[in-house]
Amino acid sequence: MSNFPFDLKKICNMFSLNGTFTEYDKINNGHVNSTFTLTFEEDGEIVKYVLQMINTEAFKNPEGLMNNIVAVTNHIRKKNEELNIPWADRGTLTFLPCKDGKYFYIDEKNNCWRVYRFIDDVFTYNVIDDEQVFLNAGIAFGDFQNLLSDFDGSTLYETIEKFHNTASRVENLKNAILENRAGRLDSVKDEIEFALSHEEEAHVLVDLIDEGKLPLRVTHNDTKLNNILFDKDSNKGICIIDLDTVMPGLSLYDFGDSIRFGANTASEDEKDLSKVSLSLSLYEAYVKGYLSSAKDALTDLEKELLPMGAKMMTYECGIRFLTDYLNGDIYFHTDYPEHNLDRCHTQFELVKDIERKWTEMQEITKKYSL
């Protein structure tokens, strides 16, 4: 416990984590929150938890956030049980209440903590080359949306306002350009030119919502492949994690963000841009999986716009990385000074490849939409 960088004893006490602490591990997947696993020994058994420090710069209201998450996970657990899903007990996260009944704890240094039970016999992917895995990922996110289709979205607090409003993300970029807080403006002229050359498209989805042509659903909004826990035995995606941004949103956001991350043949921060491309076979696998579970719930226009969702989520993410780079890396965790810029480059490169493969993407989508 002594080498843990925070007061772990106090945290364990607040969440009533009993047993003898044996070790902790840092999980380096997320760009926003900080995540650790904690291992205890209790009556000869190993008990594990996941401890997260919520980034309160990104999530300003931990109470609203945790109320959302507890409601959503309870809903999913209940539905999985009703449906007799064999993995119902591992099918969603189980958060632990603190001594005061709240699902988070703020320490003396204003760090905000939460704890959930560790799920055994699962694994995550960061990059994939196996189409079957991505097909399973599509099924898992399609199922997630179905499970939440009868959840009343109006009860959810909007954890990050305008999270996937691409037009507003462009405005944020423009502000960052004007402010030039980190003095990096001169080095990113080409990136800015690319970003602004797509500005008009940034309005397409927002306008369709305003016109009532696309329905708001309860969506995850951060559907990176590594937010799915896959079962070691069956290879099925059994549990969706990272529920901070579950809010009313478009199905296209969830579909698009999955493609942005999972169908890219390179990792999000690859420096060699020749490795970045949109794998059409992975795209097809995801479309097939996702539509097999979500098709009946989607409107014709939603299905038709799936490629647009992929393009917009990729473009938007590139803009967010560029904005953060200009602001001095204040939002996303970075490992080195150019990290956000490298990430921006992969996203913009992927947008270009999506544009090259646009017709094929539309044809594939159509094939599985019928």
Q: Does 242 bind ligand GN1 (CB under 6 A)?
A: yes
Q: Which does 191 bind (CB under 5 to 8 A by kind): ligand GN1, Mg ion, none?
A: none
CB closer to Mg ion, 30 vs 138: 30
Q: Which does 58 bind (CB under 5 to 8 A by kind): Mg ion, ligand GN1, none?
A: ligand GN1
* DSSP percent split of the chain into helix, strand, coil, nearest 5: 50, 15, 35
CB closer to Mg ion, 222 vs 284: 222
CA dihedral 6, 97, 163, 161 (to 10 degrees): -100
Binding map of ligand GN1 across residues 311-350, x = CB under 6 A, - = no contact: ------x---------------------------------
Give kind and range of the element (H or E) at residue 228: strand 228-231
Q: Which of 251, 246, 253, 247 is nearest to 298 (CA)?
A: 251
Stretch of 25-33, 131-139, 180-188, 352-360 lying at the interface with ligand GN1 (CB under 6 A): 25-33
Q: What is the DSSP letter of 187?
A: G
Q: Which two tokens stand for residue 132?
A: 């079957």
CB closer to ligand GN1, 35 vs 67: 35
How many residues bind Mg ion (CB under 5 A)? The answer is: 2
User: What 3-state DSSP class applies to 202?
Assistant: helix
Which burial class, exposed, middle or buried, applies to 273 when counting CB atoms under 10 A from its CB (0-12, 13-18, 19+)? middle
Binding map of Mg ion across residues 337-366, x = CB under 5 A, - = no contact: ------------------------------
150 Cβ contact partners less than 8 Å away, ≥ 6 residues apart: none
CB closer to Mg ion, 59 vs 103: 59
Instruction: Output the smallest distance, CB 106 to ligand GN1, in A.
Output: 19
DSSP H helices in the chain = 8-14, 62-82, 131-147, 166-179, 189-197, 204-210, 251-262, 280-294, 300-304, 306-327, 339-356, 358-369
224-263 residues in contact with Mg ion (CB under 5 A) are 242
- CA end-to-end span of the chain: 56
CB closer to ligand GN1, 222 vs 329: 222
Q: Which does 317 bind (CB under 5 to 8 A by kind): ligand GN1, Mg ion, none?
A: ligand GN1
**Binder of ligand GN1 out of 58, 167, 188, 273 (CB under 6 A):** 58
CB closer to Mg ion, 242 vs 353: 242
Give kind and range of the element (H or E) at residue 44: none
Which burial class, exposed, middle or buried, applies to 178 when counting CB atoms under 10 A from its CB (0-12, 13-18, 19+)? exposed
**Binder of ligand GN1 out of 143, 222, 254, 302 (CB under 6 A):** 222
Q: Does 268 bind Mg ion (CB under 5 A)?
A: no
74-133 residues in contact with Mg ion (CB under 5 A) are none
Q: Does 249 bind ligand GN1 (CB under 6 A)?
A: no
Return the ∠ at Cα 28 (arms to 26 and 32), rounded to 5°: 110
Q: Which two tokens stand for residue 320?
A: 């967010």
CB closer to ligand GN1, 244 vs 342: 244
CB closer to ligand GN1, 32 vs 188: 32
User: What single letter denotes the amino acid at residue 298?
Assistant: L
Instruction: Output the smallest distance, CB 171 to ligand GN1, in A.
Output: 17
CB closer to Mg ion, 242 vs 329: 242
**Binder of ligand GN1 out of 73, 80, 172, 245 (CB under 6 A):** 245
Contact 237, 229 (CB under 8 A): yes
Is the backbone of residue 203 left (phi > 0), alpha (psi -120 to 50) or beta?
Answer: alpha
203-222 residues in contact with Mg ion (CB under 5 A) are 222
- List residues near ligand GN1 by CB under 6 A: 30-32, 58, 222, 224, 242, 244-245, 268, 317
- List residues near Mg ion by CB under 5 A: 222, 242
